[in-house]
Amino acid sequence: MFKQLLLFWVCVLIINTAQSQTPIPYTLHWGHESIYTAYSLAGLATIYSLNKQIEGHSLEEIQSLNSATIWRIDRNTIHKYSEQKAHISDYVVGTACIVSVGGAGLIALQAAHDKQSFIKHAGTLAILWAETNAVTMITTNIAKSSVRRTRPYVYNSEVTMETKMEKDSRKSFFSGHTAFSASNCFFAAQVVSQYYPKSTISYASWGLATLIPASVAYLRVQSGRHFPTDVISGYIIGAACGILIPYVHTRGIDNKSNVQIGMSPQVISVSLAF
């Protein structure tokens, strides 16, 4: 898969070479960036506090679990378990990061016409990428630490008690793997479409962005790590972060948009106003 993705981004670079000296479509404001920084710092403190309260399942809790209480859409997942598919999903998430970072780097290289211009393009994209991943990570971990949903494999009689009793067994909602792959892939697609809105390659980037996190979601369900509703939620959250964070930095709308983030141990709210 890595070779195919590398070829894809090389094609992006070659096809759009004629559009050299592409103006950067994004603008940064310290006021806006401070919001993401504050959210990240407050989020880290919240996650640390919540994680200290989490304990693994006790033997009594495991024995009292009843699959009938699980939503019907999720119920069939409890019989699935695969360490191999869990490991594969790790590699696919890594691939999604390569897609995002590599794509942004190639775009900056192609769009720039001198060293100073390259630094400006690459620096801006690096900040947007970091903010996208930070917001995704904080939101995901606050949800996991607050909801504490039992993972599907805890219901599986073939899984060892030691595994079921780990703290991580309470972090099913929502899927971090799916969220991270979606945020990185949709970030790359959003950047491509905003740098080259009239290029047919932008359509291919959206298709790729859709498929990679979908494959991660499938693997996480098949591995017994998540319920379908976990990966669906992770997909939506990740895609929203990947699209909206670059979008709200777009030149021309930055003064018309306002991002407000509210957070408590029970509620996370993000509002986008125009």
Q: 163 and 150 in contact (C-beta within 8 Å)?
A: no
Supply the pLDDT for residue 2: 47
Mean pLDDT, rounded, for 18-46: 83
CB 12 within 8 A of CB 105: no
pLDDT tens for residues 163-213?
999 999 999 999 999 999 999 999 999 999 999 887 778 888 899 899 999
Q: What is the pLDDT of residue 22?
A: 66
Evaluate the CA torsion angle 198, 200, 205, 210 in order and state its sign: positive
- The residues near 201 (Cβ < 8 Å, ≥ 6 apart) are 11, 12, 15, 16, 192
Both structure tokens of 97: 């990061």
For 56-68, write each residue's pLDDT tens digit: 999 999 999 999 9
CA distances from 134 to 59, 66, 80, 183, 222 (A): 35, 36, 31, 10, 27
Q: How far apart are CA 102 and CA 123, in angstroms?
A: 14
Residue 6 structure tokens: 């590398």
pTM of this structure:
0.85
Q: Is 77 exposed, middle or buried (0-12, 13-18, 19+ CB in 10 A)?
A: buried
User: DSSP of 92-112, one letter per residue?
Assistant: HHHHHHHHHHHHHHHHHHHH-
Mean pLDDT of 111-124: 81
Residue 19 has pLDDT above 80, yes or no: no
The string of pLDDT tens digits covering residues 62-107 is: 999 999 999 999 999 999 999 999 999 999 999 899 888 888 888 8
- 42: Cα separation from own chain's centroid: 19
Q: What is the mean pLDDT of the chain?
A: 85
What H or E segment, with its residue span, contains residue 258?
strand 258-263
pLDDT digits (tens, 9 = 90+) for 247-266: 999 987 655 545 444 444 44
pLDDT of residue 102: 85
**What architecture (CATH level 2) is domain 2-7+77-273?**
Up-down Bundle (1.20)
